[in-house]
Amino acid sequence: MIDNVIQTRHLTRYFGSKRVVFDLNLNVPRGSIFGFLGRNGSGKTTSLRMILGLLSPTWGSSTVFGHDSQHLPPQVRARIGYLAEGHPVYGWMRVKDARAYQSKFYPRWNDKLFHSVLEFFRVDPKTRARSMSRGERAGLCLAMTLAPEPDLLILDDPAIGLDPVARRSLLESMVYATRKADRTIIFSSHLLADIERMADHIAVLDYSILRAQCSLETFRSCVQQFVLRFDQKPPELPPIRGLIQCIARDNDLRLTLVNLTEETRVLLNELGAISIDEVPITLEDAFVSYLGGSLETIHLSDTPELVEMVGGVA
């Protein structure tokens, strides 16, 4: 049985009548680097805030290290490092003051690690936070997140607003943080390159609903693209299980499908195409197609019993 550091069950949050997160069932395995994907406004930040106990769910529950998120004891919170979206800091503090303040809360504070991250981002300890660049502020926040030597790192869109150099520095620091074999990292992002470079597991949240939860390799293998060529205008398509994108061009149809079955292959062969070719699909195209696909998309999961339809096509 997989040891999950984070588990959510039917986690849901409404703000008034607006549904932000709905029926989220998430499992984050110990030791994984877990990429939390979704377009802006999909509910990623709200989900992470509920998992951390910073926001109460409308219904449902979540646990961290087996403890209810709404009642995390201090010794559990001390094992969690959280880098909030936007890299918030106390602008009036100097870097050395921020270090003195933050270190009081963590018994395992690693001062050497704190200063090495600052050095990596070229942050002067005497600088006042309000006068820092975005990259320097990200470095300070990351240093304060890593120095407690947490067992769980939760990073909410850590690279947002950073230039390519600062973003690369942040990712390299994350790589350094994973040297501890049982350390778990969950980080949200809508930047595919960051996910592809770092993550071994992913979850895709879209319009408040979890649409995929699997290993990165499972995602790669489950999204496929085919070009169907006809000798005349292509026919109108019947309902096709797992069809997430269809692009018509002249006498061709380019179909992107998820969780292709033998039954679907038979259906494609019955459409009357003169040729059917599977074409390579990049990881970026797979993500874009999946996030932009129809509500008939099948959930992706490494756990077979969790595979279900979102829409009504069976």
Residues 202 and 231 in one domain: no
How many domains, in total, are found in the chain?
Answer: 2
DSSP 187-236: EEES-HHHHHHH-SEEEEEETTEEEEEEEHHHHHHHEEEEEEE-SSSPPP
> Looking at the structure, do residues 251 and 298 belong to the same domain, yes or no?
yes
113 inside domain: yes
pLDDT for position 222 = 86
Examine the pLDDT at 307 and tell me if it is beyond 90: no
Instruction: Please tell me whether residues 190 and 260 are part of one structural domain.
Output: no
Q: Is residue 82 part of a domain?
A: yes
Nearest to 30 by CA among 163, 185, 205: 185
Q: Pseudo-torsion of CA 145, 131, 99, 188, nearest 10°?
A: -10
Tell me: do 203 and 224 sit in the same domain: no
Quick one: 223 and 203 in the same domain? no
Tokens 């293998």 belong to residue: 221
- The CATH number that applies at residue 57 is 3.40.50.300
257, 243 contact by CB (below 8 A): yes
Note whether 73 and 144 are same-domain residues.
yes
Residues 16 and 109 both lie in one domain: yes
Range of the domain at 225: 219-306
pLDDT in tens, 211-241: 888 888 888 888 899 999 999 988 888 888 8
With cut-offs at 50, 70 and 90, classify the pLDDT of residue 267. Answer: very high
Q: Model-level pTM?
A: 0.81
Residues facing 94 on adjacent strands: 128
Looking at beta carbons, which pairs linking 308-314 to residues 24 or more positions away fall under 8 Å?
309/241, 310/209, 310/211, 313/239, 313/240, 313/241, 314/241
Residues 15 and 83 in one domain: yes
- Which of 207, 234, 258 is the C-terminal boundary of a domain? 207
Residue 312 lies in a domain: no
> Model confidence over 54-72: pLDDT tens digits?
999 999 999 999 999 999 9
